[in-house]
């Protein structure tokens, strides 16, 4: 079984174990992702070894071709020297190296195809793990949302308990009773403490508005004389001299009032500058 097949079995078994075991899903998802990443590192190492073997086979094939070419050169040299026997031996050695070169080349071709497949599988595995990470975050968010909903439901269920509301209503009635008793005690204390003046003024304030409303209603119905017109404001003469009436100018503000007005204007101006600066941003 290859490294990727073992990894697939591991992922499947971990996910099945996650579903079947009653444990914290968040912790289990994190653990599964950690194991996936660990297996991905091992898979990368295996692919790296396969790539190294491919390169080694390619170099061996090139070396055997170079050796075959060298023995061919030696055979030519023997022919030039008139030694056919030596030339045949050199050609025999050349043939051996040609055979080894062909073998290495065939192995290199197969190894290269295997490496290409491993690279594709490694990229696919990496994509699957990244997708699992994203799904893990979504699953954890769903788990937390479900826990929050369950907590709210449990709280509402506890609040729906009849005994709890009965206790609440009973305490409210008890407080209403205490307030009524306190008001009654205060009223009795005022009546028997000799503080009748305050009671008379309270009664006067309570009935004053009713008298005014009754007078206004009679005037509206025409059974009472209308409200007399208001007198115009009198103008003040200056220096008691005869002549046209001149209104007295408004009294000048004191130094403290002027300072207070200046401070208020400065504060208002500062607030307007801050608002303008905020709007420019």
Mean pLDDT of 65-92: 90
Query: Quick check: 48 and 122 in contact, CB under 8 A?
Result: no
Could you tell me the residue range of the domain that residue 11 belongs to? 3-142
pLDDT score, position 231: 58
69 assigned to some structural domain: yes
54's CB contacts (< 8 A; 6+ apart) are 108, 111, 112, 115
pLDDT in tens, 103-137: 999 999 998 898 888 888 888 888 888 888 888 88
Total Cβ atoms within 10 A of residue 125? 20
pLDDT score, position 279: 65
160 assigned to some structural domain: no
160 secondary structure, DSSP code: T
64 assigned to some structural domain: yes
Please give the tally of structural domains in the chain: 1
Rounded Cα distance, 207 and 42, in Å: 96
Higher confidence at residue 192 or residue 141? 141
Segment among 20-29, 168-177, 188-197 with least mean pLDDT = 188-197
Mean pLDDT of 80-99: 90
76 assigned to some structural domain: yes
194 assigned to some structural domain: no
Which pLDDT band holds residue 246 (cuts at 50, 70, 90)?
Answer: very low
Rounded Cα distance, 77 and 91, in Å: 11
Treating both helix axes as pointing N-terminal to C-terminal, what angle do 84-159 and 3-20 enclose, rounded to 10 degrees? 10
89 assigned to some structural domain: yes
**pTM, entire model:** 0.42
What is the DSSP annotation of 192-228?
HTT-HHHHHHHHHHHHHHHHHHHHHHHHHHTSSPPPP
**Residue 162 pLDDT > 90, yes or no?**
no
239 assigned to some structural domain: no
Query: Quick check: 245 and 235 in contact, CB under 8 A?
Result: yes
246 assigned to some structural domain: no
**Residue 3 pLDDT > 90, yes or no?**
no
């Amino acid at each position: 079984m290859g490294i990727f097949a073992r990894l697939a079995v591991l992922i499947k078994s971990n996910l099945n174990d996650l579903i079947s075991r009653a444990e914290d899903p968040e912790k289990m998802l994190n653990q599964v992702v950690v194991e996936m990443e660990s297996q991905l590192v091992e898979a990368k190492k295996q692919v790296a070894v396969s790539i190294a073997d491919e390169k080694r086979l390619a170099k061996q094939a090139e070396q055997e071709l170079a050796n075959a070419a060298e023995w061919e050169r030696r055979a030519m040299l023997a022919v030039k020297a008139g030694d056919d026997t030596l030339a045949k031996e050199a050609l025999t050695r050349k043939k051996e190296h040609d055979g080894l070169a062909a073998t290495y080349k065939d192995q290199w071709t197969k190894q290269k195809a295997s490496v290409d497949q491993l690279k594709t599988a490694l990229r696919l595995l990496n994509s699957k793990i990244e997708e699992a990470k994203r799904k893990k975050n979504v699953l954890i968010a769903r788990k937390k949302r479900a826990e929050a909903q369950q907590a709210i439901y449990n709280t509402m269920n506890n609040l729906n308990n009849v005994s709890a509301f009965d206790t609440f209503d009973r305490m409210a009635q008890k407080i209403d009773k205490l307030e009524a008793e306190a008001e009654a005690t205060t009223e009795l204390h005022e009546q028997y403490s000799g503080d009748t003046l305050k009671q008379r003024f309270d009664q006067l304030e309570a009935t004053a508005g009713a008298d005014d409303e009754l007078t206004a209603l009679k005037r509206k119905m025409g059974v009472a004389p209308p409200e007399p017109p208001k007198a115009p404001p009198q103008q003040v003469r200056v220096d008691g001299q005869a002549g046209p009436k001149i209104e007295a100018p408004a009294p000048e503000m004191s130094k403290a009032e002027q300072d207070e007005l200046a401070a208020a204007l400065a504060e208002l101006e500062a607030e307007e500058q801050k608002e303008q600066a905020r709007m420019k941003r």
